[in-house]
């Protein structure tokens, strides 16, 4: 369990308390991959539908010509798999993080501190290069160009809706928004 501390939040500090849920992790992954520039296009629903239709057309052409339809099947399966990727990632991430129980995240001028049942981790702003935001979460992305590593900050963990605006202002002052 997290030790209860009566700490008065400072103006330049925002605290979030939450337990990760599947929907949070799926939304975080979806936000992360869609903000990767051209590489993120493969996760867009319109791209997946177009790719799936291409696979169906390829499948129909191969079957009508009496050829082996493997290429069409592979294209269709890839489109289906990629549409489920956020949920598959969320499931794996949730399984890896559930043992932490209630998570307390403190964001301040020095960086981010995450405390759970079995961890107390502090990361400086240099560990993050940018951030992205969705309706449910903020994603702090690693400084590499693709932003492959990320920390998910769940908005519902804020005690007050004004904390979300304060967190956004704090992130805007430290990181580039994508």
**Spatial distance between the Cα atoms of 93 and 98, rounded to a whole number of angstroms:** 8
Which residues make beta-bridge pairs with 113?
106, 122
This prediction's pTM? 0.73
Report pLDDT for 98: 84
Report pLDDT for 36: 63
Lowest-confidence pick of 5-9, 35-39, 46-50:
5-9
**Spatial distance between the Cα atoms of 63 and 58, rounded to a whole number of angstroms:** 9
Query: What's the pLDDT tens digit per position in 100-149?
Result: 899 999 999 999 999 999 989 999 999 999 999 999 999 999 888 766 78
Per the structure block, which two tokens stand in for 6?
């009566």
**Spatial distance between the Cα atoms of 138 and 143, rounded to a whole number of angstroms:** 16
Per the structure block, which two tokens stand in for 68?
């082996």
pLDDT tops 90 at residue 162: yes
Report pLDDT for 35: 67
Three-state DSSP at 143 gives coil
Query: What's the pLDDT tens digit per position in 70-100?
Result: 877 888 887 887 778 788 888 888 888 888 8
Name the pLDDT band for 7 (thresholds 50, 70, 90).
very low
N-term to C-term CA, the chain = 35
pLDDT tops 80 at residue 65: no
pLDDT tops 90 at residue 15: yes
Contact 113, 103 (CB under 8 A): no
């Amino acid at each position: 369990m997290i030790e209860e501390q009566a700490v008065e939040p400072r103006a330049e500090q925002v605290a979030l308390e939450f337990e990760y849920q599947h929907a949070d992790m799926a939304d975080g992954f979806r936000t992360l991959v869609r903000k990767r520039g051209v590489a993120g296009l493969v996760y867009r629903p319109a791209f997946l539908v177009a790719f799936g239709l291409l696979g169906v057309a390829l499948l129909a052409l191969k079957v009508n010509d009496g050829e082996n339809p493997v290429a069409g099947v592979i294209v269709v399966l890839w489109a289906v798999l990629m549409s489920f990727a956020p949920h598959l990632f969320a499931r794996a991430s949730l399984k890896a993080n559930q043992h932490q129980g209630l998570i307390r995240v403190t964001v301040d001028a020095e960086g981010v501190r995450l405390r759970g049942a079995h961890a107390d981790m502090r990361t400086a702003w240099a560990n993050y290069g940018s951030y992205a935001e969705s309706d449910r979460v903020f994603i702090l992305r690693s400084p590499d160009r693709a932003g492959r590593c990320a920390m998910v900050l769940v908005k519902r963990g804020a005690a007050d809706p004004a904390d979300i605006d304060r967190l956004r202002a704090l992130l805007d002052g430290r990181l580039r928004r994508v």
